[in-house]
Structure 1
């Protein structure tokens, strides 16, 4: 079982770990700061002793680092890992922003069941059951309210209960989430929203960082 160092420190960028398995270009470690794709959040990229990790994901519940090529290191060796921090930090910003956006989305449109989501370093995508087209003017209010909330600088906290359920909180916003997040809403900057229609009876809201 790989120890997930990011559970304790979302800002950890480098670490040392022992190689526990190598299967072609798939590498497993005894501990890692590389987030494996789950809960809609994309897996991390980076390097293990200067050899490229192109993705991180779970395979049969194993925490797998997918290398660009078969690695030069062997089982039992110690490697130095470095995550692509610029990419991860953007994902953290967007992931936190998506929770805050959803709070104001429900505030203006009423509760809508989320049917799917995905966040990478480019945008967050959230799909909701909703029969009618999201009103553009109302969605703009959601964007404005979210941005006003972000710049006020609300601290983010994460607690873990006795069953291991992680709860993310920021101001009045609260939800279960095991992803990686910023420490304060003012780290995010401003966001912009775009509405799309993924299919009949559904509406999609895309959140991106305003550059």
Structure 2
């Protein structure tokens, strides 16, 4: 039974009621969750599970078998009883920073059109993207461009397409090392800007803010040469 991913419908949901389907050393499996499971360079969420007579710290959410999410608990934590009703509560501060960062990285892609993304990592304090690129723009150009796009307060939305539609539009995929997951018959696209002329449009399963102004000011702090055609761009959020 797949875990219902509540953040897909509302990435701002900070807690939710759920039922425990299984619990063991590998983690706690719920029927539904607001926790994002680590994937695509975005860290798994942390937080708490609370039930009638107990509480446990969730250190990280990870992918489990057959489209499930496992909530890994702190060492020595008491496991909630199978069948129990729990409240799954996010540690919202880091999660919101990940949402801001992730959306900013999509904007960064829009400023380097045509270059494939060879890797990336989202963090609460610093994030990065690696581009298949000989000569990147300057830090100053990227910082200015990002903040102009952020200040424009573009809407962030999503839509779903079939796998066949993605095959007909391979240019939508910017990542070279990781391809969108297949098998479910449909692919989620994240769009920044208007549908008719998006600032950025690409497959993504992560969490994002609703409008770009929510990101706040950002700065590109460093460019690194990681190979003949690999340029790493580091990004931080303003406070």
What is the aligned partner in structure 2 of residue 10 from structure 1?
11
Q: CA deviation at 1:198?
A: 3.1
Match of 1:100 in 2: 107
Counterpart Cα distance in 2 of 1:145 and 1:11 = 26
Measured on the aligned residues, the alpha-carbon RMSD in Å equals 1.6
Q: Determine which of 177, 185, 210 is the counterpart of 2:212.
A: 185
- The corresponding residue for 1:154 is 154
Q: What are structure 1's unaligned runs of at least 5 residues?
A: none
* 1:114-153 alignment, distance < 5 Å: 114-132=117-135, 134=136, 138-153=138-153
The runs of at least 4 aligned residues of structure 1 exceeding 6 Å deviation read none
Deviations 1:151-186 (A, max 9, x none): 111111111235331111112221111110000000
CA contact (8 A) 2:26 2:70 kept: no
The 1-side partners of 2:47 and 2:82 are apart by 20
Alpha-carbon distance in 1 for matches of 2:27, 2:227: 36
Following superposition, the deviation at residue 205 of structure 1 comes to 0.7
Calculate the TM-score normalised by the size of structure 1. 0.90
Deviates more, 1:180-189 or 1:72-81: 72-81
Q: Which residue of 1 aligns with 2:234?
A: 206
The answer for the alignment partner of 1:77 in structure 2 is: 84
Alpha-carbon distance in structure 2 between the residues aligned to 1:83 and 1:64: 14
Question: Secondary structure at 1:10's aligned position in 2?
Answer: coil
Task: State how far apart, in whole Å, the 1-side matches of 2:190 and 2:105 are.
Answer: 12
- Could you say if the C-alpha distance between residues 199 and 59 of structure 1 is closer, same or farther in structure 2, counting changes exceeding 3 Å? farther
Which residue does the alignment assign to 2:58?
53
Tell me how far 1:43 sits from its aligned partner.
0.5
State how far apart, in whole Å, the 2-side matches of 1:169 and 1:192 are.
22
The answer for unaligned runs of 5 or more in structure 2 is 163-184, 194-198
TM-score, structure 2 as length reference: 0.80
